[in-house]
Amino acid sequence: MFVKGTFKKASILFTLALLPFLFGYFIISFLLFSFIAFLMQFFRDPNRNSPMDKGIVVAAADGRILKGKIDRIEPVDYDYPLMEYVLEKNEKGILISTFMSPFDVHVNRAPVSGQVVKTKYCPGKFKVAFGNVKTENEKNLIVIESEYGKIGVIQIAGFVARRIVQYVQVGDEVNIGSRLGMIRFGSRVDLIVPYEKFKVMVEVGDKPKAGETVMASLK
């Protein structure tokens, strides 16, 4: 499966790539066809089989290819950027951050079932998605009110990523593993769960699969 509209874009580019081929500009045509192949793999949107166990939180993003992986797990509090929308003033959370390479699937999925109660887009820079991107880079927050409390998903743009797309709106009901949106090209996704309620089930260096990998479970 592919993201809606992918085949239309690819067909237009395919037609353009044929023109230099017909006039003997084979190298240009080869480069264009290579770009089309990259575009097609980037806009993949495979079906996922999400676990239905009670008390679990699944991955919101893929981090499986090349340098894609979970690269940060840390406690956060109310003063951490955007946490005032996810945590209460006296509450702590656990942030699990997944870096996505340009070759990972970039469709993000709901980590839990529940209702979308808050979204917030924050314009910013497009630096490489390492370092101090939590305050500088463009990002988008989605908060889901679940039976276990509020769960946050932050889509963060990177150096190559130039557009964050959100599929859901406040008031929407989502099921675990359903599609929330996507980030176009390399980027990262932060997942925030309540510190007191959940135990982290992954480690730094693990390669999660969106909608399937169990990231945390109720204590």
* Blockwise average pLDDT, block size 10, the chain, 219 residues: 62 71 78 73 84 96 88 94 94 95 90 98 64 66 97 83 83 97 82 97 96 97
User: What pLDDT is attached to residue 193?
Assistant: 98
Phi then psi for residue 99, to 5 deg, are -90, 130
pTM (two decimals): 0.83
User: What pLDDT is attached to residue 7?
Assistant: 55
Q: Is 7 helix (H, G, I), strand (E, B) or coil?
A: helix
Judge whether 187 counts as a catalytic residue: yes
Q: What distances in angstroms separate CA 101 from CA 159, 182, 183, 216, one per listed residue? A: 11, 13, 11, 23
Burial 32-56 (b: 16+ CB within 10 A, else e): beeebeeeeebbbeeebebeeeeeb
Residue 169 CB: number of other CB atoms within 10 A?
9
Distance of alpha carbon 205 from the chain centroid? 17
Q: Check residue 136 and report its DSSP letter.
A: H
Question: Quick one: angle between helices 6-22 and 26-42, nearest 10?
Answer: 170
* Tokens 């080869």, residue located: 30
> Contact at 8 Å (CB) between 111 and 57?
yes
User: What pLDDT is attached to residue 127?
Assistant: 52
Candidate list 50, 97, 146, 187, residue with the active-site label: 187
User: What pLDDT is attached to residue 97?
Assistant: 95
Cα(4)–Cα(89) distance, integer angstroms: 40
User: What pLDDT is attached to residue 15?
Assistant: 74
Phi then psi for residue 135, to 5 deg, are -110, -20
Q: Name the helix (H) or strand (E) containing 134.
A: helix 133-136
User: What pLDDT is attached to residue 213?
Assistant: 98
Cα(189)–Cα(182) distance, integer angstroms: 10
* Tokens 């169990």, residue located: 214
Cα(177)–Cα(45) distance, integer angstroms: 12
**Three-state SS across 8-72?**
HHHHHHHHHHHHHHHCCCHHHHHHHHHHHHHHHHHCECCCCCCCCCCCEEECCCCCCCCCCEEEE
